[in-house]
Chains A and B, each alone.
Chain A
Amino acid sequence: MGQQESMSVRVLDPVTTSPGLWQSMIAVLRRDLRLSVRQKQDLLNPLLFFVMVVALFPLGVSPESDFLREAGAGILWVGALLATLLSLDHLFRFDYEDGTLEQMALQPQPLFVLVLAKTLAHWLVTGLPLVILTPMLGMMLFLDGNSVAVLCLTLLIGTPVLSLIGSVGAALTVGLRAGGVLLSLLVIPLYIPVLIFGTGTVMAAAGGSDVSGHLALMAAILVLALVLAPLAAAVALKISLSAS
């Protein structure tokens, strides 16, 4: 962490010596974002993976526009899910290995707040770029404009859920050397409802029905994950830290 953060913290909060919840959250968020920007390969890998997985379907199954229009939403959702999964292993690993995570656990702020900040940073550097890439890939899969818009909206609500649920799995496996494969085994079953609602919403939109109910359900899942996942991930992180 640079000097700047601690300086600005003191300016913001001159009375107490330890920063408040918001300041520490923002400090963790800024630090994680800065680290991601400086390691561009980690930033790009999930996106490249996403594009390549999506490109495999026309090659492997069928380049016909009828098939792709039908399956496009599912392909993009599965691609986004796998790309998120690929990036999860790095969520806590480096901080775990260099001891930063232990220092975070020792902070006076509750660990789940810092975990929430880290997960938010993870979504900003993996989930959000996936959503931004989706319109282009959607056009390549012959989805119409309305479907692409709904698809982007579902991904915008759904990818934070993927990051949040994934943070629990990542926290459980961070202490393991071969955590990556196990991580997908733990997390994929928990991803299934998000996938079903996400693609279901696009299907409903393509069928011409109103999707506000679908979107409200997805938002409900997001709220639930936002409340519970950081707590579970913080407990899991403490378990992983106590083992080392």
Chain B
Amino acid sequence: MANNFNLTYRIIDKLKRSDSNEKADQHSRTYLISNQNEQNEENYILRLINLENLTNLSEFITDISWYKQFNHFNLMSLKDCFLIDTKLNLVKPYASFGSCADLLNSNPFGVCERLIAHIMWQTLQAIRYLQDKHILHRGIASKNIYVCDDGRVLLDDFSHCISMISPFDGKLRKQIFDYTDKLKNQLLYLAPEIIYQNADGYNLKSDVYSLGMVACELANGSNSYRNMTYGNLNILYAKIQGSEPILLDETQLTDEMIELCDSNNSSYIEEIRKRKYTKEFHSFIKSCVSTRLESRCSLDELQSHAFFKFQKRLSRDRNSLHCDMVKLLETYKKKRPINKEINHLEETSSNFPTTDYNEKRNLTWEF
């Protein structure tokens, strides 16, 4: 396949994750690119990973192989994947609203309920698709759910995926026990039964918990388990104690809360007092994040949950569903962080990787 990747893609802008830290940036950079071969020059994301300093390459290989196995409207796909020297290039569709974490960054008090319903509905479709393949995602987090401006929601990051089919004897397992070091970034969203690591193991219902956590986070504006003093041990303790996250709105607001309000948090209290989430949303959260597996809904039960009645009615017609979501997104549009805009462009072009990239143009490569 004589694909000249240099000529196909043109770098437009450098993208930055809102929650990115320096360390992660060392090895990978993200760019907004456009495909010049296509008529309308559609935008994509280019993730450039420098493999030179990384010791474990098998992670990327399994990750990419997961991308190749899936094909669903609501799952992130890999448009292209190629190596230039030691740099791994991954081309993915561009989600202009960024991830849900970005959305929360610009709206610290949370987003509106109808939008959450839309995001949840589409994510649910993606998880159901994975469930049909007997795959547990385990990586459902606000930073892995992307929102496009055409109302499409994409679920990304398959690095935590695990199959329910045993690699030893090829049989379908009822429960799995796998727990590795890799999951530590995901602790906030992991279901209690995964963290316990006890003899009961966990199954496909654990993804439902993570989904509920994301919904709760989108509504409240932040994760309930973030910033605990003792860190991870606190999360574990809280989850053992049976604490479940809740939606903060006027029904949950009590006099004590209002009394405690000071300059620091008064606006948040005001916000809580103003809003009221529907009964369905409360029961949706409750059935998702229940600590006990019996009272947690399965994916199929969630599909028919009253919270989604609007989406369900429209689900036959994808366009109208998306139109509705786009309308909702309009209100967030002006507030969204436009990836530091074009004024950064000069700066990035003088930066090392871009120039590096230009230099490489004349080289040939094979793989």
A and B interact physically = no
Residues of A within 8 A of B (CB): none
